[in-house]
Structure 1
Amino acid sequence: MKKLILSLSLLLAGLAVQAQEVRELDEINEDNSWLKLGINLGAPVGDVGNYSSFALGLDVAAQFMRTDNFGLGIATGYTKYFEKSDAPAFDGLNDGFGAIPLGLMFRYYPQPSGIFVGTDVGYTFLTDVNSADGGAYIRPQVGYHNYNWNIFGYYNQVFRADPAIDVQSIGVAVTYNIRFK
């Protein structure tokens, strides 16, 4: 898994280094920056899959297109992991638990409309868990985009020092781009 994450990171960095016009932050406008709002639906896997049947969340991100093909920004949101009806007792959880990520987002768009790849990296805070210290997270994505919408599949993993809750999920998400004025 670490080799996959390293390979994806190197791929994104290599693609971003292409000779392109680089925009500065003071050049933010409605053509190169937007707020992304959306929803995600995930299937918990790993240890948390024994406890949670599905995850439903809200995604919020602010993105700046540093070049015509490379975007970066800040990502956050909230995902609720719903408890299975026959779930065993799991770290004092009662009606599921929540995850609040706070991270950097990186996206590569080969064309103005079509396939894209990206990842979010940062820290996830866990809620409604006795040992809610959270952990570092990564969320690689592959999807389709156009001027207004992004539809993508993702894998999400929270790396915790205490592996009592191995928080992993795979899912799909859709986000809508709200242009900055």
Structure 2
Amino acid sequence: MKKVILVCALVLSSLAASAQFTVSVNGGLPVGDVEDFSSFALSGDVGYAFATDNNLMLGVSAGFINYFGKEYDFLGTTVEAESIQFLPVAGSLHYRLSNNFSVGSKVGYAFGINDGNDGGFYYKPMLSYMVGEATSLSLFYEGITDDGFNANNVGLGFTFGL
């Protein structure tokens, strides 16, 4: 039994040595169906990833997305559309193309927070550029789709490792 515990401890410590916690802050411009109701998207997430080899990282992430409602003039009165909010939970994959560039994607489910928002399938392909030892800038396309309704945005993100 002691040998099994020792082997498990060694495996976990080797995974932890190559693991990284991340925090991301993102801003985006809405596209698709949500563009009619929203003027800007702001999101953030936390993640945990570990290296499977020198170039490939696998992980999980959870976050928050807010599509800010647009203001409309209606019969002389300014009316603001409600914000649309999601909690995405996803698996992630990042592949390092060079010392500075990597490509990646997150895929999962985004839970709808506000009334009438059921959430939907979540995806986020991205291209990242390392600007420091543990920081990167990402260009991404983030999408949530459910029964023909698409909440998408194109944006720029800043990620730093902890």
TM bucket by the smaller chain? 0.7 to 0.9
Contact 1:51 1:87 in 2 (8 A): no
Q: CA deviation at 1:78?
A: 0.4
* TM superposition shift of 1:104: 0.3
Identity %: 27
Distance 2:139 2:85 in 1: 20
Gaps of 5+ in 2: 1-10, 75-79
Give the deviation of 1:75 after TM superposition. Answer: 1.3
Q: 1:114 to 1:34 in 2, by over 3 A?
A: same
Where does the alignment leave 5 or more consecutive residues of structure 1 unmatched? 1-23
Deviations 1:115-154 (A, max 9, x none): 1000000101111141x22111110000102421021000
| Cα shift readout 1:41-82 (whole Å, capped 9, x = no counterpart) | 011101100100001111211110111100000011101110
Aligned to 2:82: 95
Q: 1:144 aligns with which of 129, 134, 144?
A: 129
In structure 2, how many angstroms separate the alpha carbons of the residues matched to 1:56 and 1:128? 16
Which structure has greater strand proportion? 2
Structure with larger Rg: 2
Q: Aligned to 1:65, which of 51, 75, 80?
A: 51
1:60-139 aligned at under 5 Å gives the runs 60-86=46-72, 95-111=82-98, 113-130=99-116, 132-139=117-124
RMSD: 2.0
The letter of the residue matching 2:138 is F
What is residue 19 of structure 1 aligned with on the other side? none
Q: How many residues align?
A: 146
Runs of 4+ in 1 over 2 A off after TM superposition: none
> Taking structure 1 as reference, are residues 39 and 87 closer, same or farther at Cα in structure 2, changes over 3 Å only?
farther
Q: Residue 41 in 1 paired to residue 34 in 2?
A: no
